[in-house]
């Protein structure tokens, strides 16, 4: 999909151009309960009061979620007019905006229009750049087609590709440059999201740790990012005993991916992103029940999201330094797999009694968090599909956010709100640490049923004491189940927005 900006000199002239200009489709928003204004008013006048009559007859009221497709509207240059209900003007905030974009895009997708012009009605407090970037990301999200992008998975010829090729936003000349930059940012984030979704959706027999490392390398090469992949031998030399205990039961070789992007002076401390890369989580000897186990192919979505974020950051050439770390392996049962009760020595030197081999994410992450110390980071953020209990706590709406520093937490929460990829702050009170007591090692890897997401974060916090640290539990947000089963690409938008804010 191509997105472009049409700069118009003055609002009135722009509206005339918008209304008269030849295009396959024109998308206009209408508020509920008020007579048409702006571009909608211009369209109404040009069409001899068509929109007014539709409103009068209650055929179109501007109600949030409503839509109307008109072909060959009189007096208007577009072959099709798509009206989208924006709801009450005073309620037109970010979420209503995105909903309207989704609806407009779906109507367009149902037509043969190859290109369309979109008039942007801005939500309260947001500029044209925010709106343009959001439309790009929303439309790209909607038109993502895993099967078309990964031929060979379904052998039947796919239905023909959607007709829509190009979306143009008409904006005032003075905001044209900002809008163009916003489109480029939106496309970069969307590319990162697509990359993360592809990796997440690929089955675990294709997306192995080796495949993940190859994809990371290829992306790094393409975007001028330094890549290094450590194999088993090097992981052993580093004494990553917790990571090694998780990979013990599988024949797939583990990988530790290190990517380094330099967009600022070498003296500037980097942000380090760490992603959980369990390419399949059977639970190990603490085997998971069979139902829905296929979804544990998504247990590398944290890894996919930090790789997608790296791709977006390098594409945007952000003026920051960024390191991405991905410990990746399978969690499988076997005759040589780690057993409940086994005690391992982590890279930090702390010992862990593995009471449940299904609490494996924290075991690979804790060694990566220790490895992160060598970068003298400004902040470390790990991203993981860590706990089912986070899904119970927050559902599929917010990612769980934990942090040992207030400013980092606030910045990440704000970035999430801005990017419509929200997180919710969770507690790390020291009282929860009690639950990790072990009779046989420095700590246990599980803390029992109460506050399972919190105790997982508490476990990680013991390896993140030397720097500012945040943890995003994305177990509920990284993928969808049911008919629309598939990876979401979250939290690439949140992370990219956070890093863009740092670059300013």
Map tokens 């979109």 to a residue. Answer: 118
CB closer to ligand BES out of 259 and 457? 457
Binding of ligand BES by 137 (CB under 6 A): no
Annotate each residue in 336-375 with x if it binds Zn ion (CB under 5 A) or - if it does not, as one string. -------------------------x--------------
Give least dist CB 357 to Mn ion, A. Answer: 8
| Residue 151 burial class via C-beta count within 10 angstroms: exposed 0-12, middle 13-18, buried 19 and up | exposed
- Pick one of 49, 333, 340, 388: the residue that binds ligand BES (CB under 6 A): 388
The residue annotated as part of the active site, out of 126, 217, 288, 417, is 288
Question: Could you tell me which stretch among 312-320, 387-395, 400-408, 412-420 binds ligand BES (CB under 6 A)?
Answer: 387-395
Strands 226-230 and 26-31: unpaired
Alpha-carbon gap, residue 29 to 120, rounded angstroms: 8
With contacts defined by CB under 6 A, name the span among 144-152, 266-274, 384-392, 430-438 that binds ligand BES: 384-392
Closer CB to ligand BES, residue 111 or residue 389?
Answer: 389
- Choosing among ligand BES, Zn ion, Mn ion, none, which partner's interface includes residue 304 (Cβ < 5 to 8 Å by kind)? none
CB under 5 to 8 A by kind: which of ligand BES, Zn ion, Mn ion, none does 458 bind?
none
Q: Which does 269 bind (CB under 5 to 8 A by kind): Zn ion, Mn ion, ligand BES, none?
A: none
Per-residue x/- track, 467-496, ligand BES (CB under 6 A): --------x---------------------
Residue 373 class from Cβ within 10 Å (0-12 exposed, 13-18 middle, 19+ buried)? middle
Structure token pair of residue 274: 């760490």
**Which of Mn ion, ligand BES, Zn ion, none does residue 387 bind (CB under 5 to 8 Å by kind)?**
ligand BES
Structure tokens at 185: 């940012």
In angstroms, how far is the first alpha carbon of the chain from the final one?
Answer: 29
- Cβ-Cβ contacts under 8 Å for 291 (sequence gap 6 or more): none
Helix or strand holding residue 116 (H, E): strand 115-118
Q: Are strands 423-425 and 399-403 parallel, antiparallel or unpaired?
A: parallel
362 tagged catalytic: yes
Contacts with ligand BES, 249-288, as mask; x by CB under 6 A = --------------------------------x-------
Q: Could you say whether residue 32 binds ligand BES (CB under 6 A)?
A: no
> Catalytic site residue 288?
yes
b/e per residue, 241-253, with b = 16+ CB within 10 A?
bbbbbbbbbbebb
83 vs 365, beta carbon nearer ligand BES: 365
Which parts of 258-287 interact with Mn ion (CB under 5 A)?
281
Of 26, 170, 31, the C-alpha closest to 92 is: 31
Interface residue with Zn ion among 44, 121, 141, 299 (CB under 5 A) is 299
- At closest approach, how far in Å is the CB of 167 from Mn ion? 41
- x/- mask, ligand BES, residues 301-320, rule CB under 6 A, reads --------------------
Distance between CA atoms of residues 502 and 111, nearest Å: 41
Q: Which is nearer to Zn ion, 353 or 360 (CB)?
A: 360
CB atoms near residue 310 (< 10 Å) = 31
Q: Which CB sits closer to Zn ion, 40 or 278? A: 278
What's the Cα-to-Cα distance from 317 to each of 15, 78, 302, 309, 320, rounded to whole Å? Answer: 35, 38, 22, 12, 8
Distance CA 345, CA 241 (A): 5
User: CA 199 to CA 278: how far, in whole Å?
Assistant: 12
List % helix, strand, coil for the chain (3-state, nearest 5): 40, 20, 35
CB 286 to ligand BES: min, Å: 7
State yes or no: residue 356 binds ligand BES (CB under 6 A).
yes
Minimum distance from CB of 402 to ligand BES (Å)?
15
Cα 281 from Cα 414, distance rounded (Å): 32
CA-only gyration radius of the chain, Å: 25
Residues that bind Mn ion (CB under 5 A): 281, 358, 360
Residues that bind Zn ion (CB under 5 A): 278, 281, 299, 361
Residues involved in catalysis: 288, 362
């Amino acid at each position: 999909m191509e997105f472009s900006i049409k700069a118009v000199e003055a609002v009135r002239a722009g509206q005339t151009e918008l209304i008269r200009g030849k295009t396959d489709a024109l998308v206009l928003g209408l508020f509920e309960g008020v007579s048409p204004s702006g571009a909608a008013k211009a369209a109404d006048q040009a069409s001899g009061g068509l929109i007014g009559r539709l409103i009068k007859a209650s055929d179109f009221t501007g109600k949030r979620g409503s839509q109307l497709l008109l072909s060959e509207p009189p007096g208007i240059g577009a072959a099709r007019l798509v009206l989208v209900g924006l709801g009450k003007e005073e309620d037109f905030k970010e979420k209503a905006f995105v909903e309207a974009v989704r609806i407009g895009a779906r109507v367009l997708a149902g037509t043969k229009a190859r290109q369309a012009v979109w008039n942007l009605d801005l939500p309260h407090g947001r500029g044209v750049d925010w709106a343009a970037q959001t439309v790009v990301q929303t439309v790209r999200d909607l038109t993502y087609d895993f099967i078309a992008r990964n031929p060979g998975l379904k052998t039947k010829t796919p239905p023909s590709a959607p007709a829509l090729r190009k979306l143009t936003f008409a904006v005032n000349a003075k905001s044209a440059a900002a809008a163009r930059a916003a489109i480029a940012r939106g496309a970069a984030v969307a590319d990162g999201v697509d990359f993360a979704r592809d990796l997440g959706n690929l089955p675990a027999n294709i997306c192995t740790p080796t495949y993940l490392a190859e994809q990371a390398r290829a992306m790094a090469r393409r975007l001028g990012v330094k890549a290094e992949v450590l194999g088993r031998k090097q992981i052993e030399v580093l004494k990553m005993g917790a990571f090694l205990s998780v990979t013990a039961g599988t024949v797939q070789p583990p990988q530790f991916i290190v990517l380094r992007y330099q967009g600022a002076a070498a003296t500037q401390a980097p942000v380090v992103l760490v992603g959980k890369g369990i390419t399949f989580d059977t639970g190990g000897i603490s085997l998971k029940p069979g139902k829905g186990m296929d979804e544990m192919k998504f247990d590398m979505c944290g890894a996919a999201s930090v790789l997608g974020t790296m791709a977006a950051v390098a594409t945007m050439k952000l003026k920051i330094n960024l390191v991405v770390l991905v410990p990746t392996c399978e969690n499988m049962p076997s005759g040589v797999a780690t057993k409940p009760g086994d005690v391992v020595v982590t890279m930090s030197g702390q010992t862990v009694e593995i009471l449940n081999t299904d609490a494996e994410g924290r075991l690979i992450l804790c060694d990566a968090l220790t490895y992160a110390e060598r970068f003298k980071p400004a902040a470390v953020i790990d991203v993981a599909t860590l706990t089912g209990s986070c899904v119970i706590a927050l559902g599929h709406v917010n990612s769980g956010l934990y942090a040992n520093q207030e400013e980092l937490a606030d910045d990440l929460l704000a970035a999430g709100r801005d990017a419509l990829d929200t997180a919710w702050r969770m507690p790390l009170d020291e009282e929860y640490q009690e639950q990790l007591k072990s009779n046989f090692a420095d700590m246990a890897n599980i803390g029992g049923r109460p506050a399972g997401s919190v105790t997982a974060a508490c476990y990680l916090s013991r390896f993140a004491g030397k720097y500012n640290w945040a943890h995003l539990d994305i177990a509920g947000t990284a993928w969808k189940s049911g008919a629309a089963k598939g990876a979401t690409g979250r939290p690439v938008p949140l992370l990219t927005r956070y890093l863009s804010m740092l670059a300013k």
